[in-house]
Amino acid sequence: MNNTARQAVPEQERLRRWRLVLGSAAEPALGGLGGADDSAVDKALAAVYDVGSGRSGGDRSGGLGGSAPRVARWLGDIRTYFPSTVVEVMQRDAVDRLNLTQLLLEPELMEAVEPDVHLVGTLLSLNRVIPETTKSTARMVVGKVVKEIEERIATRTVAAVSGALNRATRTARPKPRDIDFDRTIRKNLANYLPEQRTIIAEHLVGYGRRAQAVHRDVILAIDQSGSMASSVVYSSVFGAVLASMRSLRTSLVVFDTEVVDLTEKLADPVDVLFGTQLGGGTYINRAIAYCQSLITRPADSLFFLISDLYEGGVREEMLRRINTMKEAGVQVVVLLALSDDGAPSYDRENAAALAALGVPAFACTPDRFPDLLAEALNRGDLRHWGTDRQ
């Protein structure tokens, strides 16, 4: 905080903030808190951050124990006193620090939490053990997050893909019903005949009638190891959006040590997500081998491998398969993460080996993915995309 900002905060308010940050151990030095709201905020923070924090002095009154009603009250309190972005962080910290995973299986808690991508990741890692009484509520929570993501990315994705495919299908010999008259007039302005007040259209501009045909095949292969949770959520929603476009044939495959094709579930991204199982090992080579079997026209295929590249199988075979796909004409892109979580942890040796093969490997945020997708569909050079545009 700079001096100007520090001066703008009254001394009493500054001490109050530090007291809330440092907890009850700082009360002798900073003074107590005034008002019921401050006390409630302090208790909500202490429940998570005073337990096992290593603070000295004072009794530790934090912790949520194993009581579902107590957790439910705490969830209500933090939603009352903190903005949703802070609530999401505190929920995530509570699950990590206090081992509240099992309590998240309680229906009343599912109704009280603030849905976010990280919570969805936690639920997906538990989806094999969620009791029947909680499943419908869990689906509702996941569905709310999916809807928010779709609203955020769907329009831009469809526009980017449509624009890329339209550019790819432009033709100089369109059928009459496919002529782009605005572009045709601009292209032939030099052929204007003043005496006849008309333009001789020597060059027609239009688009081939490809809208009803499948123009590109897109395959998303998603690593469902635990570290890729947010990427699994975003990739599944993007997959569903792409599957809604008739000009694309979209396939979605998830993998750990096994490979699961979820393409038939793409009509509902919630079904896709509940078809995943986060955690476990990773066998990238096996997933690539399966995806190779889906490719019938390499020159019109775009393959996204979304993985941190920690391979539990045969590394040399994985690299050989990717190179074979690239040499066959497939546009191959490796995303180390498709999320808002920042720089991922990934296998740098494998990423460097892919770069040496001419296959780009970088992280991408969901907001930038539509532009990346459009450039890939136009077979742009993506090798420097991650460094030049982040």
Does position 4 have pLDDT exceeding 60, yes or no? no
Mean pLDDT (the chain, rounded): 81
- The neighbouring-strand residues paired with 362 are 335
Residue 298's Cβ-count burial label (10 Å; 0-12, 13-18, 19+) is: middle
| pLDDT tens-digit series, residues 331-352 | 999 999 999 887 678 999 999 9
Q: How far is it, in rounded angstroms, from Cα 15 to Cα 371?
A: 47
Does position 259 have pLDDT exceeding 80, yes or no? yes
Judged by average pLDDT, the poorest of 11-20, 104-113, 192-201 is 11-20
Rounded to an integer, the average pLDDT of 126-150 is 88
pLDDT value of position 174: 65
pLDDT value of position 83: 83
| pLDDT tens-digit series, residues 314-335 | 899 999 999 999 999 999 999 9
% of the chain beyond a pLDDT of 70: 79
Judged by average pLDDT, the poorest of 12-26, 183-197, 216-230, 295-309 is 12-26
pLDDT value of position 208: 53
Query: 191 versus 69: which is more confidently predicted?
Result: 191
Q: To 5 degrees, how large is the angle CA 283–CA 288–CA 291?
A: 135
Closest by Cα among 66, 67, 68, 54 to 25: 54
What does the buried/exposed string (b/e) look like for 192-223 if buried means 16 or more CB atoms within 10 Å of the residue's CB?
eeeeeeebeeeebbbbbebeeeebbbbbbbbb
Residue with tokens 């009803």: 212
pLDDT value of position 198: 84
pTM score > 0.75 for this model?
Answer: no
Does position 167 have pLDDT exceeding 70, yes or no? no
Does position 11 have pLDDT exceeding 50, yes or no? yes
pLDDT value of position 357: 94
Q: How far is it, in rounded angstroms, from Cα 390 to Cα 378?
A: 20
Q: How far is it, in rounded angstroms, from Cα 90 to Cα 49?
A: 9
Query: 153 versus 77: which is more confidently predicted?
Result: 153
With the CA atoms of 240, 150, 91 and 78 taken in that order, what torsion angle do they form, in degrees rounded to the nearest 10?
-160
Largest separation between any pair of C-alpha atoms in the chain: 96
